[in-house]
Amino acid sequence: MIWFDLVTPKSVMFFRPFIMNIKARGNDVLVTAREGDGYREVVDLLNLYKIEFVNRGFFGGANLGDKLKASIHRQLALMEYIEKHNITKLVCLCSVDANRVAFGLGIHIINFYDIPLSDHTANFKKALPQARLTLPLSTKAFRPYMVPQTIFERFSMEPDQIYSYQFLDVVAWLHDFEPDRKFFDDFLKSNDLDPKKKTIVVREEEFKASYVHKKYTMLYDGLKLIKNKFDPNIIIIPRYEHEPLKAMFPYATVLEEKMIIQHLLAFADLFIGGGGTLNSEACFFGTPAISTRSFVSHYDKLLIDANLMEKTDTVDELIEKTEKIMGKRNDPKELFDTMHFDIDKIVDEIIKTNKK
């Protein structure tokens, strides 16, 4: 049985086609997840896409002590559950808890990771905590082509343990996705939004993640100015609780229920995002995108260099670039047409993995 531990929204989207492929080959799959106060995005996505899962553990929040306590409790809960099943392999996006349990139980570990460092330079000091705690335990690790292999080798990995794939991660679930204009138009109508206005979709930075040092106010301050200056429709996709965002931005539409947001990203006039995944999705559709993230990863740099995304560090830059690119669609084909998504090849590598 192959075990997938899905603890972030991206991991649900990324591994969904792999889980389907593996099951179609006649292999048994077990999916575990977690949730917590103010953090239901993962389980909501799993339910939306009808992926069967077992919930073990909870999200620890922003405080380091709470994170550690939640991690310890979750590892115990996972261990007690996993050791009752005939698990041969763990597959995940460097889930710390699952890696520790799999290593302790002698289970093969297959990690996928596109952000081992918090920026695009080769500065090992900026290695993310998840990378330090998981990559050295890998039986195999998969990296997207824009992240240098030498970075993975620094985590005590041999070259033959590291496998490269030739696509940006979002291609895994967007390569056959057909955006629906009617969905977008109906959404505007049902939320009393003016279809004649520009529409901006917004996503916060993952400020409760261990690799973000603090909650930056640029996006929050900038949105108020954007509303006053351009008067667009503003749709906010919460990362955590939606109530504080509704109170902070009474003029915005804050999503409360999980939906297939790719339909919104595909037809928006601008996407402003503090994360990585939705930024990349917007770029895939040719929607102009502005990153307000506090750092620039390797795949961020790829999108910026391809002129599909802008980076801002101040409120003034955010306003300036909003005015410059809002409504001006990009052609993503030059970048994305060079990518090759071969799911069968990757699944073959997953299935044949043997312990070191």
Domain boundaries of the chain, sorted by first residue: 2-166+340-351, 178-336
Provide the whole-model pTM.
Answer: 0.91
If one looks up domain 178-336 in CATH, what number appears?
Answer: 3.40.50.2000
Please determine, for residue 212, whether its predicted confidence score (pLDDT) is greater than 60: no
Confidence of residue 129 (pLDDT cuts 50, 70, 90): confident
Q: What angle do CA 313, 317, 318 make, to 5 degrees?
A: 85
Please determine, for residue 126, whether its predicted confidence score (pLDDT) is greater than 80: no
Tell me, yes or no, if the two domains 2-166+340-351 and 178-336 fold the same way: yes
What pLDDT digit, counting tens, does each position of 228-257 carry?
Answer: 999 999 999 987 777 888 888 999 999 988
Please determine, for residue 71, whether its predicted confidence score (pLDDT) is greater than 60: yes
What pLDDT digit, counting tens, does each position of 268-321 carry?
Answer: 999 999 989 999 999 999 999 999 988 899 999 999 999 999 999 999 999 999
What pLDDT digit, counting tens, does each position of 151-199 carry?
Answer: 999 998 999 999 999 999 999 999 999 999 999 999 999 999 999 999 9
162 has which bridge partners?
141
Domain 2-166+340-351 grouped into CATH 3.40.50.2000: yes
